[in-house]
Structure 1
């Protein structure tokens, strides 16, 4: 699965620090524009009618470099954060067009003097023009709301043309859906590639230092507990609403830039029992225990997470898979408490969007 490969790539990206060239940093701002051309990946049989879609995207980005020269020299990595705006035409009336806005992080490694390698995860919201409608668009089973969640993972190479101008080449995995809050909601996944230009605007103000004191540079271990709550699900057959919530505990090994996690999750999903019984399965409990491993990008008070989990019992039905993939974004106003959201993916479908609170025990 493409999403599983992104986890492996994020680990390899930091391993490349061993061969990366030193970077210098200024508190600079960048503008970039890219033209992207893609292909929709029809991941389930019910949406094969969109497999011929060929999306064309104009992507605009505004970003800021983070980290001073000492930081870049020590870790051979530069961090960027910024905002993106995507305008996408799916070249298919059934799907319409999309306008998406989001926030992204971009760790950058220098491979040689002119070439840079970047990994770019992004989160945001999208407006989509032609959702499912019983009268006007009854063959669109990919999304049913105008406003959806948008996520992407990009792999960029940057080549210096001049001191301030760079040529960008990219490959990107894209997804949007409403997290199964309103069905039909199979979601749209597409692969895109493209080229663009990036222009850096030098700034006189020095970049703030991200380097802690030497005694604080060692890895630390933490134990976090996280209750989360999702929107109740409505059964389209009986019109009943069913609760979905959960609880997670994880042990985290954190460095300065990123961390690795292992944990246990217990989800409660009444709708799972209903759907499983309709498929002829014998299910006696709505509790779904799971174990997971994960990775975190650390950017000050903001933490971007991704997890891969396996349910602790065989629950394979048409409703849910044995494995899941979770993306999340959290903000920590104080060191021990964080607030955020995430969405859980089964077989390329974002089925659960949650709001969560994390408390760090130690």
Structure 2
């Protein structure tokens, strides 16, 4: 994600030469608790995990128009190690690219919000025979999400003291079960080394893109895999097709509305297990309508959707669904995305999507 953001195509607007983007190197310690967000993990929410993080970030200075629109955020990647202080859970190692958006920046301080997403490796996943108490994660490979407020205070021209409050989340998106995930509210303390604090900035008045106010159309298809129960270890294919109409409403935002269809083969397996012989089974296919928003960072977008099922003969979930994800335009027409589809806060499936903008 960091490389994609830094490498976003430059606009053809008349621009000032962009100053060199300086580096920032950080090392932090973290102290956490395990949030008991469901009764199924209360027996694990008794330890106080501790972690250590090193990160490398770069201060944007105006090489792309969106740098100025977002008040010159930092783009970075973090490597995090966590000890859950519980032999059932073990340890976690994660790598997460991120963006760090400043709210208030002065000669000696920087107050910002950080959002990152990546991959994590957990050492002690659920095993029915040897580790059945770990209801948090049933696979070693998981997705990770980082949210954090940070305050950096200059001790010297190059050295900053950082304090932060954040949340680390690990989950495999129901690819395997059980998968209640883990949320770690965290206190962060560490040091940043700034190659150049308060770097020069250029192109603060970059004009709005030419497509602001224009309507566009998206068509896409996705696939994902999910496990039905702890006892059934098979992975079932989940497909979707989507057609949407959108409008770029500002430099930073697209609004969308659309229709989509879903085919979740795990529902068919559930019906075959539970329906009495001779009875007709309802259709497991579903159709929905949705509205959505895309927060734009050059070719990259953070996607959020809220949908409502309008055709769902088999009532296997809530009548509505949510979707969060990252979308990247490989060209002006073709895009790829990774989305997490959710039912009332519980992960349903991770969707790997390809599509076209018309």
TM-score > 0.5, shorter chain as reference: yes
Contact 2:121 2:141 in 1 (8 A): yes
The answer to whether residue 55 in structure 2 is matched with residue 39 in structure 1 is: no
Q: Does 1:224 align with 2:241?
A: no
Match of 1:81 in 2: 75
**Paired residue for 2:304?**
306
Partner of 2:127: 133
Structure 1, gaps ≥5 residues long:
1-23
Match of 1:269 among 233, 258, 264: 264
Greater CA drift, 348-357 or 269-278? 269-278
Q: Indicate conservation of the 8 Å contact 2:65/2:206, yes or no.
A: no
Q: Which stretch of structure 1 is more off in the superposition, 31-40 or 219-228?
A: 219-228
| Shift, 1:225, TM fit | 1.9
Shift of 1:103: 1.1
2:354 match = 357
Give the 3 Å change call, closer, same or farther, for CA 194–236 of structure 1 in structure 2: closer
How far residue 74 of structure 1 moved from its aligned partner, in angstroms, is 5.8
Does residue 253 of the first structure (1) align with residue 248 of the second (2)? yes
> d(CA) in 2 for partners of 1:272 and 1:210?
52
Task: Give the deviation of 1:307 after TM superposition.
Answer: 3.0
Determine the structure 1 residue equivalent to 2:12. Answer: none
Residue 185 (1) aligns with residue 179 (2): yes
TM-aligned CA deviation for residue 86 of structure 1: 0.7
Give 1:93's aligned residue: 87
Distance 1:88 1:236, change over 3 A: closer
Indicate whether 1:174 and 2:174 are aligned: no
- Determine if contact 1:36/1:57 at 8 Å carries over to the other structure: yes
The 5-angstrom pairing of residues 28-177 of structure 1 reads 28-68=22-62, 75=69, 77-110=71-104, 114-177=108-171
Task: Report the 3-state secondary structure (helix = DSSP H, G, I; strand = E; otherwise coil) of the residue aligned with 1:148.
Answer: strand
Change (3 A) 1:263 1:72: closer
Contact 1:315–1:321 under 8 Å retained in 2: no
The Cα of 1:332 is off from its aligned counterpart by 1.9
Q: Deviations over 1:140-170 (max 9, x none)?
A: 1111222211122222233344443333332
Q: How far 1:359 moved relative to its partner?
A: 0.7
Q: Give the corresponding residue for 1:341.
A: 338
1:9-20 matches, within 5 Å, as none
CA contact (8 A) 1:25 1:78 kept: no
| CA separation of 1:138 and 1:247: change in aligned 2, threshold 3 A | same
Q: Contact 2:91/2:122 (CA < 8 Å) preserved in 1?
A: yes
Given that residues 79 and 106 in structure 1 are in contact (C-alpha distance below 8 angstroms), is that contact kept between their aligned partners in structure 2? yes
In structure 2, what is the Cα distance between the partners aligned to 1:174 and 1:36? 10
Q: How many residues align?
A: 335
Q: CA deviation at 1:111?
A: 5.7
Q: Is the 8 A contact 1:233 1:244 kept in 2?
A: no
- Aligned equivalents of 2:144, 2:53: Cα separation in 1: 14
TM-score of the two chains, using structure 1 as the length reference:
0.78
1:194–1:311 Cα change, 3 Å:
farther
Residues 152 and 347 (structure 1), Cα distance of their counterparts in 2 relative to 1, 3 Å cut: farther
- Secondary structure, in 3 states, of the residue corresponding to 2:113? strand
Larger helix percent: 1
The whole-number CA distance in structure 1 between the counterparts of 2:132 and 2:242 is: 39
| C-alpha separation in 2, matches of 1:82 and 1:315 | 46
Q: Secondary structure at the match of 1:150?
A: strand
Q: Helix, strand or coil: the match of 2:161?
A: strand
